[in-house]
């Protein structure tokens, strides 16, 4: 599981640095995307005289400027979040739960799944739901939640959920039936053990970033017809043509959006409204993150307006929920400084990963962490509270399928990886055998093949490499 950690942890590595508070075409309804209007630029600092604002319990919100005026009773976001992500549970990611995807090794264009969307599409609603229910039953258990609480190391859980769980569409219909029952149970467990839960809407229709963690990897193209010689392999490409069409139609040549998909945006807002209606009275819910990791090419004025509309939906019914927005991979004061100024209970989420950096010494990674800490302190001055919603101690890209099922990002991994016997499936038991498991140790790397290599071979799986030490560099056994 990906870890959720407070920004304050970075201060331990950086003495003298001030601490930071932790914390595609026509849509389904037949409507067509609307032309993309130009960015209106920075929001004015003060609302115009004709904007009387919307009054809430302890503050007033001004939609013309996307800012607020709060009174002395407004609740500040001033507590530290220390927690973990329940990654891979409600939203499948092959690198987190690979044994769910072993069954697709050796597949072709019609029998291979690479994300949650194609998992349901290939298996169909009945078989997909059967396997998902086994997964939901075994991946997160009450004993795990109990251990987390008793460790006293965490006080909160970040729960990635799919938009399709609340407003089903496409192949998800029927395939994810029953998911909400497990969410209800998880919330009750968390409440009984004194843990809060941040509901993170991890997916969006037509993908907000093109990653498999959005539910659907976009863009994607089978290239088998171009690879008939010399072996006739089943091949595909994803990373060179990645796109994200949640917000509108993306032009990969101009690297910009040509239209806005209002239907998709409204769908996401309905999902948020449904979540608020379902859980506003549950004591375990800390708040909501309206969309996870919208990519850096998302038009900022559209993203900010989506965040603002979602905030108003939340505050109308869940008065004290925290509202955490992702930085869209643009963690700068120029991007977020002044946005939602004066609005209570909001925080900015940034995700810190060093796994995509060049191989380096321990000191280099420590220095990078210190630089992140300084940027967090700056953002807290310019925007407000910051939460590091995802982070990891990994310093390489070796984890199997980290960059997608049977694929890898061009140029990665950037250092040799270690191979160890693949883990046994968590799904298997006396009365259940997950298709595709156990792996056949006599088989080498199987297709379909992406633009990079990552996958099991002869029963071995790639994992993080060992650290190199000075003794190793001197020719001794120092790994």
pLDDT for position 466 = 83
pLDDT for position 7 = 36
pLDDT for position 410 = 87
Q: Shortest CA distance to 14 belongs to which of 298, 343, 376, 334?
A: 376
Secondary structure of the chain in HEC code, one letter for each residue: CCEEECHHHHHHHCCCCCCCCCCCCCCCCCCCCEECCCCCCCCCCCCCCCCCCEECCCEEEECCCCEEEECCCCCCCCCCCCEEECCCCCCCCCCCCHHHCHHHCCCCCCCCCCCHHHHHHHHHHHHHHHHHHHHHHHHCCHHHHHHHHHHCCCCEEEEEECHHHCCCCHHHCCCCCCHHHHHHHHHHHHHHCCCEEEEEECCCCCCCCCCHHHCCCCCCEECHHHCCCCCCCCEEECHHHCCCCCCCCEECCCCEECEECHHHHHHHHHHHHHHHHHHCCCCCEEEEECCCCCCCCCCHHHHHHHHHHHHHHHHHHCCCCEEEEECCCCCCHHHHCCCCCCCCCEEEEEEECCCCCCCCCHHHHHHHHHHHHHHHHHHHHHCCCEEEEEECCCCCCCCCCCCCCCCCCCCCCCCCCEEEECCCCCCCECCECCCCCCCCCCCCCCCCECCCCCCCECCEEEECCCCCCHHHHCCCCCC
| 340-386: pLDDT as tens digits | 999 999 999 999 999 999 988 888 998 998 899 999 999 999 999 99
Q: Determine which one of 121, 293, 296, 424 is catalytic.
A: 293
Task: Return d(Cα 479, Cα 465) in angstroms, integer.
Answer: 9
What is the CB neighbour count within 10 angstroms for residue 317?
Answer: 12
Mention every residue, 6+ apart, whose C-beta is less than 8 A from residue 50.
none
pTM: 0.89
pLDDT for position 75 = 64
Is pLDDT above 80 for 188?
Answer: yes
| 458-467: pLDDT as tens digits | 999 999 988 7
Q: Which of 74-78, 255-259, 264-268, 468-472 has the highest mean pLDDT?
A: 264-268
| Long-range contacts (CB closer than 8 Å, 24 or more residues apart) made by 61-66 | 61/311, 61/312, 61/315, 61/343, 63/308, 63/312, 66/304, 66/305, 66/308, 66/339, 66/340
What does pLDDT average to over the chain?
A: 88
Question: Among 60-74, 388-402, 404-418, where is mean pLDDT lowest?
Answer: 60-74
In the annotation, is 390 catalytic? yes
Q: Per the structure block, which two tokens stand in for 442? A: 């006599």
Question: Among 34-38, 267-271, 288-292, 463-467, where is mean pLDDT lowest?
Answer: 34-38
Is pLDDT above 50 for 18?
Answer: no
Task: Return d(Cα 365, Cα 300) in angstroms, integer.
Answer: 31
| Mean pLDDT, rounded, for 466-479 | 53
Q: Determine which one of 93, 390, 424, 476 is catalytic.
A: 390
pLDDT-derived band at 415, boundaries 50, 70, 90 = confident
Of 236 and 75, the structure prediction assigns the larger pLDDT to 236
Mention every residue, 6+ apart, whose C-beta is less than 8 A from residue 65.
43, 44, 45, 46, 47, 51
pLDDT-derived band at 74, boundaries 50, 70, 90 = low
pLDDT for position 62 = 96
pLDDT for position 47 = 66
Task: Return d(Cα 77, Cα 387) in angstroms, integer.
Answer: 10
The angle formed by the CA atoms of residues 269, 274 and 279, to the nearest 5 degrees, is: 125
| Mean pLDDT, rounded, for 77-87 | 89
pLDDT for position 230 = 76
8 Å CB contact between 289 and 324: yes
Question: Among 256-270, 304-318, 393-407, 455-469, where is mean pLDDT lowest?
Answer: 455-469
pLDDT-derived band at 225, boundaries 50, 70, 90 = confident
| 122-166: pLDDT as tens digits | 999 999 999 999 999 999 999 999 999 999 999 999 999 999 999
pLDDT-derived band at 78, boundaries 50, 70, 90 = confident
Is pLDDT above 90 for 263?
Answer: yes
In the annotation, is 126 catalytic? no
| Mean pLDDT, rounded, for 280-292 | 98
8 Å CB contact between 389 and 351: yes
pLDDT for position 130 = 98
Is pLDDT above 80 for 227?
Answer: no
Bond into 230 cis (ω within 30): yes
pLDDT for position 45 = 55
| Mean pLDDT, rounded, for 197-210 | 97
| Mean pLDDT, rounded, for 200-225 | 95
Task: Return d(Cα 333, Cα 342) in angstroms, integer.
Answer: 16
Task: Return d(Cα 219, Cα 211) in angstroms, integer.
Answer: 9
pLDDT for position 468 = 62
pLDDT for position 277 = 98
Q: Shortest CA distance to 197 belongs to which of 92, 89, 321, 74?
A: 321
pLDDT for position 479 = 38
pLDDT for position 108 = 94
pLDDT for position 335 = 98
| Mean pLDDT, rounded, for 174-180 | 98
pLDDT-derived band at 336, boundaries 50, 70, 90 = very high
pLDDT for position 203 = 98
Q: Per the structure block, which two tokens stand in for 254? A: 């101009």
Burial class (CB in 10 A: 0-12, 13-18, 19+), 79: middle
pLDDT for position 360 = 87
Q: Which of 201-210, 363-372, 406-415 has the highest mean pLDDT?
A: 201-210
């Amino acid at each position: 599981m990906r870890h959720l950690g407070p920004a304050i942890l970075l201060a331990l590595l950086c003495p003298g640095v001030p601490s930071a508070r932790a914390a595609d075409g026509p849509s389904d309804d037949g409507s067509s995307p609307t032309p993309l209007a130009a960015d209106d630029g920075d929001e004015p600092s003060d609302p115009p005289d004709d904007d009387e604002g919307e009054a809430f319990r302890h503050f007033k919100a001004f939609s013309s400027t996307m800012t607020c005026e709060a009174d002395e009773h407004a609740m500040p976001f001033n507590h530290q979040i220390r927690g973990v992500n329940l990654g891979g549970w409600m939203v499948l990611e092959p690198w987190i739960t690979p044994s769910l995807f072993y069954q697709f090794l050796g597949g072709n264009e019609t029998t291979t799944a690479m994300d949650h969307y194609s998992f349901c599409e290939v298996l169909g609603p009945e078989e997909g739901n059967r396997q998902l229910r086994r997964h939901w039953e075994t991946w997160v258990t009450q004993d795990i939640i109990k251990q987390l609480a008793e460790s006293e190391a965490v006080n909160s859980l970040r729960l990635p959920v799919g938009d399709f769980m609340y407003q089903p569409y496409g192949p998800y219909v029927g395939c994810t039936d029953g998911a909400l029952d497990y969410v209800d149970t998880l919330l009750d467990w968390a409440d009984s053990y004194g843990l809060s839960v941040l509901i993170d809407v991890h997916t969006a229709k037509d993908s907000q970033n093109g990653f498999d963690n959005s539910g659907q990897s976009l863009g994607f193209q089978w290239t088998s017809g171009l690879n008939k010689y010399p072996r006739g392999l089943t091949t595909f490409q994803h990373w060179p043509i990645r796109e994200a069409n949640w917000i509108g139609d993306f032009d990969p040549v101009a690297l910009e959006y040509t239209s806005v998909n209002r239907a998709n945006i409204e769908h996401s807002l309905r999902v948020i409204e449904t979540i608020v209606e379902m859980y506003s009275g549950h004591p375990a819910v800390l708040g909501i993150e309206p969309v996870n990791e919208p990519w850096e090419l998302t038009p900022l004025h559209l993203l900010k307006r989506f965040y603002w509309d979602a905030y108003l939906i939340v505050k109308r019914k869940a008065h004290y929920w925290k509202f955490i927005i992702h930085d869209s991979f643009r963690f700068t004061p120029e991007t977020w400084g002044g946005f939602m100024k004066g609005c209570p209970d909001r925080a900015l989420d940034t995700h810190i990963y060093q796994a995509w950096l060049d191989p380096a010494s321990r000191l280099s990674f420590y220095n990078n962490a210190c630089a992140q800490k300084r940027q967090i302190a700056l953002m807290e001055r310019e925007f407000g509270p910051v939460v590091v919603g995802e982070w990891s101690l990994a310093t390489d890209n070796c984890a199997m399928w980290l960059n997608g099922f049977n694929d890898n990002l061009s140029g990665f991994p950037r250092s040799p990886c270690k191979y160890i016997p693949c883990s046994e499936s968590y799904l298997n038991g006396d009365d259940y055998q997950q298709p595709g498991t156990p792996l056949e140790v006599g088989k080498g790397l199987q297709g379909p093949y992406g633009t990079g290599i990552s996958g099991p071979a002869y029963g071995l799986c790639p994992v993080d490499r060992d650290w190199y030490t000075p003794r190793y560099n001197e020719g001794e056994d120092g790994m």
